[in-house]
């Protein structure tokens, strides 16, 4: 475990809310507005942390545990994700599966908390969230399996360390569909535009946002920070694949990955500005398409 790994975890913890900030700023600029300051997500989280939480009488301990357990799962997942090719703090065989299911656990407790409120809207949101994430999961796991095949390792750190320029020249035909699949997973899991509109406040069309309507104060702060962290984690997976800079120097690799993250946030903002949300019936098709892209990559790697 090098110093760089610890620095990368700190970087993730500190810079994660910057990602939604950049996305919102990009959208505002494209729409011709100035938009909120880049650090607005930090201000929001700090403001919410100072407030006190309000709990409905119909909720139980599940509702209170949801945000805490969700954030804890995402914090553990942060320890597993490599950034810029250098190893993560924790790396052991098959930590890929643990990573996928830590994200799954975070989603599961959010869904439980939403169901615990007894609100019909939140139940609808929970149902949609579970449906779409069940379809996004094969795409993520098959995609990671394809990378695992190429680098013959089942641990995220060596998998991503092996994705240098050499890997791209050797199997670009397989990596290109894989990058597409991971990008779709990134957008879907983070409730981004073609799947879900993060800014909508119409309950009938909301997916992720509707589940957190009843949370307030520090709980909401945990959820907001957790979703920024999830954006960062899945973004790091996409960037680690698309930006194959593996010079060996921690600084150059880290800087390239950081630039990649900023670019990814800008691209997300551009996608959100240029695309309309898909109809709910069309979303499964997009996610199945992503799974198929992952399958293509996996089959090409297995060959």
Residues near another protein (CB under 8 A) are 169, 172-174, 176-177, 284-285, 288-289, 291-293, 295-296, 299-300, 302-303
Of residues 36 and 289, the one with the C-beta less far from another protein: 289
Of residues 135 and 229, the one with the C-beta less far from another protein: 135
Least spacing, CB of residue 140 vs another protein, in Å: 15
Nearest to residue 58, comparing CAs of 122, 126, 125, 128? Answer: 122
DSSP string, 23-55: HHHHHHHHTT---S-TTHHHHHHHHHHHS----
Measure Cα distances from 47 to 71, 115, 118, 190, 219 in Å. Answer: 18, 26, 27, 23, 12
Least spacing, CB of residue 212 vs another protein, in Å: 29
The two tokens of residue 67 are 């945000």
How far is Cα 141 from Cα 280, in angstroms, rounded to an integer? 23
Left if phi > 0, otherwise alpha if psi is -120 to 50, otherwise beta: which for 82?
beta
Of residues 177 and 240, the one with the C-beta less far from another protein: 177
Number of H helices, E strands in the chain: 11, 0
How far is Cα 8 from Cα 251, in angstroms, rounded to an integer? 11
173's enclosing H/E stretch is helix 165-189
Of residues 199 and 285, the one with the C-beta less far from another protein: 285
Looking at residue 83, the DSSP 8-state letter turns out to be B
Least spacing, CB of residue 195 vs another protein, in Å: 15
Least spacing, CB of residue 170 vs another protein, in Å: 9
Least spacing, CB of residue 171 vs another protein, in Å: 9
Of residues 173 and 255, the one with the C-beta less far from another protein: 173
Least spacing, CB of residue 175 vs another protein, in Å: 10
Of residues 42 and 168, the one with the C-beta less far from another protein: 168
């Amino acid at each position: 475990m090098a110093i760089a790994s610890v620095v990368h975890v700190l970087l993730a913890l500190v810079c994660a809310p910057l990602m939604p900030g950049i996305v919102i700023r990009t959208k505002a600029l494209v729409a011709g507005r100035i938009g909120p300051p880049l650090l607005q997500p930090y201000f929001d989280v700090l403001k919410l942390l100072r407030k006190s939480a309000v709990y409905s009488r119909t909720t139980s301990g599940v509702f209170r545990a949801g945000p805490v357990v969700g954030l804890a799962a995402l914090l553990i997942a942060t320890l597993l994700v490599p950034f810029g090719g250098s190893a993560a703090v924790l790396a052991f065989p098959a930590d890929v599966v643990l990573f996928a299911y830590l994200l799954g656990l975070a989603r599961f407790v959010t869904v439980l908390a939403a169901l615990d409120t007894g609100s019909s809207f939140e139940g609808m949101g929970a149902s949609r969230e579970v449906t779409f994430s069940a379809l996004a999961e094969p795409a993520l796991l098959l995609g990671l399996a394809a990378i695992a095949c190429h680098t013959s390792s089942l641990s995220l750190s060596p998998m991503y360390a092996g994705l240098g320029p050499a890997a791209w020249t050797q199997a670009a035909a397989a990596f290109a569909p894989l990058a597409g699949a991971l990008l779709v997973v990134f957008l879907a899991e983070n409730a981004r535009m073609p799947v879900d509109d993060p800014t909508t406040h119409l309950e009938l069309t909301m997916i992720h946002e509707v589940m957190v309507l009843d949370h307030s104060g520090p709980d909401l702060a945990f959820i907001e920070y957790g979703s920024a962290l999830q954006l960062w984690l899945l973004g790091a997976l996409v960037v680690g694949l698309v930006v194959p800079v593996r010079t060996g120097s921690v600084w150059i690799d880290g800087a390239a990955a950081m630039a990649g993250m900023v670019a990814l946030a800008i691209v997300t903002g551009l996608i959100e500005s240029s695309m309309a949300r898909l109809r709910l019936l069309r979303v499964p098709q997009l996610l199945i398409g992503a799974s198929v892209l992952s399958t293509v990559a996996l089959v090409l790697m297995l060959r």
